[in-house]
Amino acid sequence: MHGDLVYFVIAAPDSQRARTFYGGLFGWDITPGNVEDGWQIGRSSPPGGMQGGADAGPPQVYFEVDDLAEAMLRVKALGGEADGPKGGGAGSYANCRDDQGSEFSIFQAAG
């Protein structure tokens, strides 16, 4: 299990305002993504995305794992929750909560 932070998503009710704010703050290049009102954030490490029309909240973070099914079982064994797998293309992921309710996601790259 890697555990490296590999992706993040910022949820924003108004994506135009969020793109102006974060682009101005960090100098990110923000380009259209592949979902409605979804955006790809360039020049960030790790790479990220932005989802417009969503409730504001903390960024969703994605940690890389070697085996998604095994990691989901470990989350549950440690008292957390895991909902998945989901995805395709670049890989699969599961949205999770730790044993205290904090949200995060785990991601396994394709191949």
Q: Render pLDDT for 22-55 as a digit per residue (tens, 0 to 9).
A: 999 999 999 999 999 999 999 999 999 999 999 9
pLDDT (0 to 100) of residue 87: 83
Sheet holding 60-64, edge to edge: 29-32, 38-42, 48-52, 5-12, 60-64, 103-109, 91-97, 81-88
pLDDT tens for 68-79 read: 999 999 999 999
- Domain with 75 in it: what CATH number? 3.10.180.10
Per-residue pLDDT at 89 exceeds 80: no
- Report yes or no on whether pTM surpasses 0.85: yes
Do 32 and 72 have their domain in common? no
Do 87 and 52 have their domain in common? no
Residue 22 domain flag: yes
Number of domains in the chain: 2
Do 36 and 76 have their domain in common? no
Do 19 and 35 have their domain in common? yes
pLDDT (0 to 100) of residue 1: 54
